[in-house]
Amino acid sequence: MTGKLLKPTLGLMMLLTIMTTAEAQWDIGAKGGISIPNLTAGGSQQNPVNTGYSSRQGPDFGLFGEYHFTKFFSLEVGAEYSSQGGKKNGFQTFTTPPELVGYYESQSMTAPPYLYANYKSEAKLNYLMIPVLAKVGWDLGRQSPFRFYVAAGPFLGILLSAKQVTSGNSLVYQDAAGTEALPTGTQSFDQTTDLKSELHTFNFGIDGHIGLAYALGLDKRQHLFVEAGGNYGFLNIQKGTANGKNNAGAAVATIGYSHALCRHKKNF
C-alpha cells in the first residue's frame, strides 16, 4: 500500500522540481505585415449580395507580450490592427436602392429586390483584435540561432470602422444575364458608405500561425521573426438579413521583433 502511494508522490515531487527550476521569461514585441481578407457567406443566409467576394489586401500590425512557462511552451497575448473585408469587380448584384424603387412605382410596377450592374465594390472593415495564443516552439539544433514555433488560440475582435467603397459607371439591368437594361441611362457608382451601424461591434473566433525566429547576440534575448497564418470569425458580421450574412477571415503574413524583458528562475 505504501509503495502505491509513494509512486504518485514521487511523480508529483519531480514535476514540482521541474517547475521550480524551469526558466521563465517575459518578452514584448511588435510585428507588421499584410492581411489578405475575404468574406464568406454565412450558412443558410446566402443571396446574390453576400456571395461572390474575392480577397482584398490591407495592413496588419500590432504589439504583443509573451510569457514562457518552459523552454517549449509559452502564452502570447496581443493587440492587433486587422484589415478584414472583401471585394467584387465586374458584373454584380446590389439591393434595389430607394430612388430606383421610385422609378418602378412611377411605372405602376413592383420593384425587384435586386438589380445588376458592372462596377467595382470593396468592403473595408478594420478590427482591433485581441488574440490569446498557446505557443509551442523548439530550437533547430543545440547551438542554432533558429527557432520554429506554432501558435493557436481564440481572439476577440472589436470593429473600428466599416466602409463600402464603390466606383465606376454602368447601365443598370433587371436580370443577371445583363440583357434587360433599365431606361435610366448610365449610372455613377462612385460612392463611399459607412456600414458600421449595420454591423456587430464584436466578433470572436480562432487565430493561429507558424513562425521562424532568429536569435540576435550571444544571450539570445532579441529575436527577429517571420510568421504566416490566419484568423476566422465565428459570428456573422451583419445585424440584419437584407444583405445576407457573412463571416470575416484573413490570411496574414508578418515580420517582427521581440525582446526579453527578464529572465529568472521561477519560484512557486
Q: The domain spanning residue 247 has which CATH number?
A: 2.40.160.20
Are 233 and 248 in contact by the 8 Å Cβ rule? The answer is yes
Cβ neighbours for 208, distance < 8 A, ≥ 6 positions apart? 133, 150, 151, 152, 153, 229, 230, 231
Taken as a whole, the chain contains a residue count of: 268
- Residue 199 dihedral angles phi and psi, to the nearest 5°: -115, 155
Q: Is residue 55 part of a domain?
A: yes
Q: What is the pLDDT of residues 170-196, one digit of tens each?
A: 999 999 999 999 988 999 999 999 999
Instruction: Compute the average pLDDT of residues 132-152.
Output: 94
Q: What is the pLDDT of residues 193-234, one digit of tens each?
A: 999 999 999 999 999 999 999 999 877 789 999 999 999 999
Whose CA is closest to 203, among 244, 249, 252? 249
Q: Is residue 15 part of a domain?
A: no
- Residue 159 dihedral angles phi and psi, to the nearest 5°: -70, 125
Q: Is residue 220 part of a domain?
A: yes
Residue type, 265: K
Range of the domain at 131: 23-91+122-166+195-263
Q: Is residue 60 part of a domain?
A: yes
Q: How confident is the model at residue 44 (pLDDT cuts 50, 70, 90)?
A: low
- Number of domains present in the structure of the chain: 1
Q: Is residue 18 part of a domain?
A: no
Query: In whole angstroms, what is the distance from residue 89 CA to residue 166 CA?
Result: 10
**Which grid coordinates are listed for 261?**
524583458
Q: Is residue 54 part of a domain?
A: yes
pTM of the entire predicted model:
0.84
Whose CA is closest to 171, among 248, 91, 230, 238? 91
Q: Is residue 160 part of a domain?
A: yes
Q: Is residue 37 part of a domain?
A: yes
Are 249 and 217 in contact by the 8 Å Cβ rule? The answer is no
